Structure 1
């Protein structure tokens, strides 16, 4: 039977002369901006940012962040106002991730691959008053603002520097750690994007979790292969900063440049979707043995295949598998390595590492639930939906209480991902609910078929979707990109799958070519489903 834990009132009752409870000795509102304030004191002269020819120490970064806060205040931004961010990975976006909350404002990071109309919707829905953007995306920013009702003030790269030059340093202290820090918009592949509200406490704790699980420290270097605008780069802007490590900026995934930066700046960490790691490993500059220092790749956004993990291990790259959503500040689940895994051979290690895992250090227990909300047995076979709650789950959807209630009908957020629970407590994705293919009454998990395809040595990437079929209802169709210099026929790959899975799970057709992807490197299955349904080429990405 549960009983109430004793409160501070019960034990010590620290009160002032007026009888009010004193909490100042034991409580300070949590905010990720405080990580940079500390880093500027502890790691003052260490390199904080490398962005092309620009290098900033932690003292210089902290100074620029406070000047940005002062400049925004001088431009009329008040605490609680929304400030949009539209930029590629670089010092402007990194500084804004600290500088906007330092002004007391709420960040609205935006995907640089969205159309002007989509960005205009976000600007209006979030009520953005100022839009910070780099020069590269000036035309896109102008078109988005012109199409919006809000018509926010635009501050470009050059104007951004003028804003800082004419400002007085400012730091607005956070009084309420549960107040909004940012509004992050979902991809909107099934309708209008939803605004996911983060609070200061969640971002602070998630950053701590990422730093701990990935073993970041002051000697490390982090390469920005993951867009900072995506879930605030899984909270790594703050995680890297709290550790005093180096931010090495990369505006877009460019394998030869990435390997050059990794070796030049002694990069120890990077993050991205499986396709990012695939593209890096496929390049001739990829290592054939461990780098010095050793490189850790944090992979999420889609389940990495055991074949990809095995390929990374052969190249001397450690892999940590992470799972999460925009609604969970990025990775809420980590495939926590166990000491005894070191005794496994490469194939066995790749198989256990491909699972999604357990809740990260600040998360509650990750559940797999049935349609009634009950827990499924931990038998690695019974399929249910992943449900999460805790400090690393969103406050809710901005201006959409109906969607918030629907997503968490019983106080547990439903992710939309189907999974099984292993006896050791690790969850493993079976598929997205919308990606399960039902053919002749049989369920086919697209992930299972994709893993079978990429185990063929000629296959670099694969995505499997449903195609309508008059007889079976729908059948699996595979879209495949081959490794450089490799060849394979449709019949050869279909037989390869049939040799490993039940025949009804094998693709009925295979289409060869490049796969459409989001800005974060995730394969756009919604585009492929449209292509399979209509038989027409997909829209240009």
Structure 2
């Protein structure tokens, strides 16, 4: 999909596709998308190719309101972005799924979202529909813009533009609906209002995640946040595959100053060689999100790359665009930052259900009242406990606000252990484990106990070398009260994780219950 057309005249489109039309009209020759070491696309070319592909999709029977699955990975970043807005131009609904997702997850999303056709970089079959017939799979072909370009669909602000699935770390993924209005409100500022043109953003977020969706829209507004003096227009580049050397080569090749990673990916940068550090000379900010940061990893990055700032971002798929950011992450592992511009945070007591003041723990709720549009669940048939009627969104996290307005997170609601009737938080135990020099990754679980209901257990991934259960226990006793010390600690070769690095604790519990050989209790 490398057509170098000028975009051509099209009828003005409403909804999300109007964002691409507007920017392509204002800055047609500005670089928008990059596949490192391969190619780039200007806004005019992006518009041209999306219109051309929309014509092909229309001929194949894609119409307004249909739900279309996009099966891609980062190696096809430009093709994904073109296909996404081709679907949006027709008024159809995009459902983006990573090509690397397990078949079971892909099949669940196919059925749950009611996908009737797929667009795939790899045109191999993606499964069968409810009646047993294969789904329609439309390959991504070099588009040729003919005479049969359909008029753009008319979309209502409240109409569904996109269905995004949560990570599913605590159960089945949930389908989160985004209306056109929310995208068009968030990305309303035209590029001409920006402070200039910057080098490309580089990201490695897995396709199908909320973070990757933000990167798809980022060229329309630029980035305005910690580490950047002025909002500036930037193209967005995606790493085809994540490995340390490719990160360094892509940063050097594109002179990247802003890098977006998951915390699991940040861990790989803690073993940089001297030559790799030189390749990162242009880098100013590493922006992390999607999972808690390991403070030890942040400290190692600071020692190796003293001029680079690690920025922590916290939010949820459901609450977006509400966001919390910390411009200098890692000093206190509990602090995730302060509300970003336009975001409000409040804490609601789990016991009384009332909103509480600074220093009191409870469920974190977020809102972004300057935007009228908001997300919702696809299958909510009753009033949701997540999307509250007053415009606030309840997260699955427990925390508190301090007097300065900083948000401190203590745990996920689903990770609070009930040990003999006493509620214990898993997060402080995990932080204490991660501070041990031999622990690379850690997860704390509540396992069944006949008398207590649950007991505290830990699963760790150890670095190469020698250690013992007693060594880890001594380390924890110096940092935690006795009631938080795990009764059992298991060592595994690797953690089961989602594509964005979140640990699948239910999988760990099931593995322990099955007594699988990959788990061995430290002696």
Same fold judged by TM-score > 0.5?
yes
Change in 2 beyond 3 A, CA 1:229/1:498: same
- How many angstroms apart in 2 are the aligned matches of 1:529 and 1:217? 51
Q: Which has the higher helix share?
A: 1
- How many angstroms apart in 1 are the aligned matches of 2:348 and 2:89? 40
Aligned-pair CA distance for 1:117: 4.3
Aligned-pair CA distance for 1:493: 1.9
Change in 2 beyond 3 A, CA 1:456/1:94: same
Aligned-pair CA distance for 1:108: 0.9
Cα deviation, 1:123-155, whole Å, max 9, x if unaligned, reads 2332323201112xx44xx24236776743201
1:196 corresponds in structure 2 to: 176
- How many angstroms apart in 2 are the aligned matches of 1:85 and 1:424? 43
1:461 corresponds in structure 2 to: 441
1:144 corresponds in structure 2 to: 127
- How many angstroms apart in 2 are the aligned matches of 1:368 and 1:326? 18
- How many angstroms apart in 2 are the aligned matches of 1:465 and 1:301? 20
SS in 1 for 2:357: coil
Larger deviation, residues 290-299 vs 320-329: 290-299
2:225 corresponds in structure 1 to: none
1:387 corresponds in structure 2 to: 365
1:313 corresponds in structure 2 to: 302
Across the aligned residues of Structure 1 and Structure 2, the Cα RMSD in angstroms comes to: 3.2
Aligned-pair CA distance for 1:360: 2.9
Q: 5 Å matches for 1:22-421?
A: 31=16, 33-35=18-20, 37-39=22-24, 41-42=26-27, 44-46=29-31, 48-89=33-74, 90-135=77-122, 138-139=123-124, 142-145=125-128, 151-156=134-139, 160-162=140-142, 164=144, 172=152, 175-206=155-186, 218-231=197-210, 233-243=212-222, 244-284=233-273, 291-316=280-305, 317-329=308-320, 332-337=322-327, 350-352=330-332, 355-363=335-343, 365-371=344-350, 372-379=352-359, 382-390=360-368, 391=371, 394-402=374-382, 405-408=384-387, 410-411=389-390, 412-421=392-401
- How many angstroms apart in 2 are the aligned matches of 1:460 and 1:36? 47
- How many angstroms apart in 2 are the aligned matches of 1:392 and 1:251? 36
SS in 1 for 2:472: helix
- How many angstroms apart in 2 are the aligned matches of 1:285 and 1:169? 53
Contact 1:307–1:451 (Cα < 8 Å) also in 2:
no
Aligned-pair CA distance for 1:502: 1.0
Cα deviation, 1:339-390, whole Å, max 9, x if unaligned, reads xx7xxxxxxx623575223333243x111101343212202xx221012234
SS in 2 for 1:351: coil
- How many angstroms apart in 2 are the aligned matches of 1:50 and 1:502? 50
1:11 corresponds in structure 2 to: none
Q: 5 Å matches for 1:494-533?
A: 494-512=473-491, 513-533=493-513
Pick from 398, 409, 413 the counterpart of residue 433 of structure 1: 413
Contact 1:320–1:353 (Cα < 8 Å) also in 2:
no
5+ unaligned residues in a row in structure 2: which ranges?
1-12, 223-232
TM-score (norm 2): 0.82
SS in 2 for 1:233: helix
Contact 1:208–1:239 (Cα < 8 Å) also in 2:
no
SS in 1 for 2:395: strand
Change in 2 beyond 3 A, CA 1:226/1:40: farther
Change in 2 beyond 3 A, CA 1:43/1:306: farther
Report the number of matched residues. Answer: 485
- How many angstroms apart in 2 are the aligned matches of 1:99 and 1:441? 54
Contact 1:477–1:532 (Cα < 8 Å) also in 2:
no
Aligned-pair CA distance for 1:477: 2.1
Aligned-pair CA distance for 1:187: 3.5
Contact 1:94–1:228 (Cα < 8 Å) also in 2:
no
5+ unaligned residues in a row in structure 1: which ranges?
1-27, 342-348
Cα deviation, 1:216-248, whole Å, max 9, x if unaligned, reads 963222223102321261512111343342322
Aligned-pair CA distance for 1:260: 1.6
SS in 1 for 2:330: helix
SS in 2 for 1:259: helix
Contact 1:323–1:332 (Cα < 8 Å) also in 2:
no
